[in-house]
Amino acid sequence: MRQYLNWKTYLAIVALFIVGASLYYTSQLAGKLADEEKKKVEELAGALKTLIKSNNLQETAFASNIIAQNTTIPLIILDDNGQIADSRNIDTLHAVNPRTVVKLKLEEFKKNHPPIVADYGTGKNYVYYGESYLLTQLRYFPYIQLAIIIVFLLVVLFALSVANRSLQNQVWVGLSKETAHQLGTPLSSIEAWLELLRDSDANHDAVTEMQKDLDRLKLVADRFSKVGSAPQLEEQNLVARLEDIVAYMQRRSPSKVIITLHSEQKEVPVNISGPLFDWVMENLIRNALDAMGGTGKIDITVTNTPQQVWVDVQDNGKGIPGYQVKKVFTPGFTTKKRGWGLGLSLSRRIVEKYHHGSIFVKQSEVGKGTTFRIILRR
């Protein structure tokens, strides 16, 4: 259960508790107020009975006062024949047909409460009543409160998410700039040493291979410098770019791993930053290699549509459990014993922020493999 619990979950639980407690307390108050209103209607029915039966002026005056004091509870009085004899506290001021409004209210009152009967011997009156405006407000208050809490939580979560993303961006920029800066000095020194080796007639093959590794390190430093600033996008043939990446990674993969590129077209022009896009693909391929344990296949498929270009990277490795799929792009998340968990996070930043595309786990099944999809705009 710990993998599903985080500060957002606890915040939601606290909010639900507050709403639940509010609903319970408000329900209790509404119940008490409804009982009080029922008692008032019963008193009013008794007062109505007194007005009809009593000849005592003091009693009739007291009964009239009870009836006059009811200014909140809507009610309708029917006679023995079921005809409307009187109504109180029902808004018919702007109604075209006030009697129709009263009849509709009567049907509503009949559904909500049984009538209070005023039996005065020679006949009966039936008092139907509804809820006062205060009681209605009290019943709806918890739902209004729930809506306010939900809006508040959404605003807080959005603000925290934006702040967290902004902090991450600052960390990435600072880390990338510092890494590129730190690599610059030793790379310049190694470049100078290689020139000395060439001048001293050292082993040509060794110097050539060292130059390749040096060029690779320069590329890595260049990538880090581009992460810290907006790179220039250029139109390139994506298929040709991917062919180079596949060839490069195939040479550095176990012999039992086959990397294959699939594309119905030889040329798929798209605006990308070549070094950064290569970095994304290398990250995805390396993750696939780690997931397969030295044997298997990686299929890279390019799908060209009028509006977008899709690049799918599919492996037949160990797959990703469902509860981890949403976490794979989180900085610091990794399933490896060694690793910082930054590769996929950087990849998402490169694709979404710099290429204005998207990257996500299209499909994954434990024991069968994973497919990542990159979507690039035209």
Determine the pLDDT at residue 172.
Answer: 66
pLDDT tens-digit map of 5-41: 566 677 778 877 887 888 888 888 888 888 888 888 8
pLDDT tens string 162-187: 887 777 667 766 776 777 777 777 88
From the CB of residue 328, how many other CB atoms can be counted at a distance below 10 Å?
A: 21
Q: How confident is the model at residue 1 (pLDDT cuts 50, 70, 90)?
A: very low
Separation CA 375–CA 378 (nearest Å): 10
Strand bridging mode 296-304 / 257-263: parallel
Cβ 303 vs Cβ 310: under 8 Å: yes
> Model confidence over 260-277: pLDDT tens digits?
999 999 999 999 988 889
Greater pLDDT, 176 or 294: 294
Q: List the end-to-end C-alpha distance of the chain, in Å, as a whole number.
A: 43
The answer to whether residue 295 scores a pLDDT higher than 60 is yes
Look at 160 and 319; give whichever has higher pLDDT: 319
333: DSSP letter: -
C-alpha dihedral sign at 354, 311, 298, 292: positive
Q: How far apart are alpha carbons 160 and 236 in whole angstroms?
A: 38
Share of the chain above pLDDT 90, in %: 23
**pLDDT digits over 311-359, tens only?**
999 999 999 888 888 888 877 667 666 655 677 888 898 899 889 999 9
Half-sphere exposure of 159 (CA within 13 A, CB side): 6
Q: Are 216 and 187 in contact (CB under 8 A)?
A: no
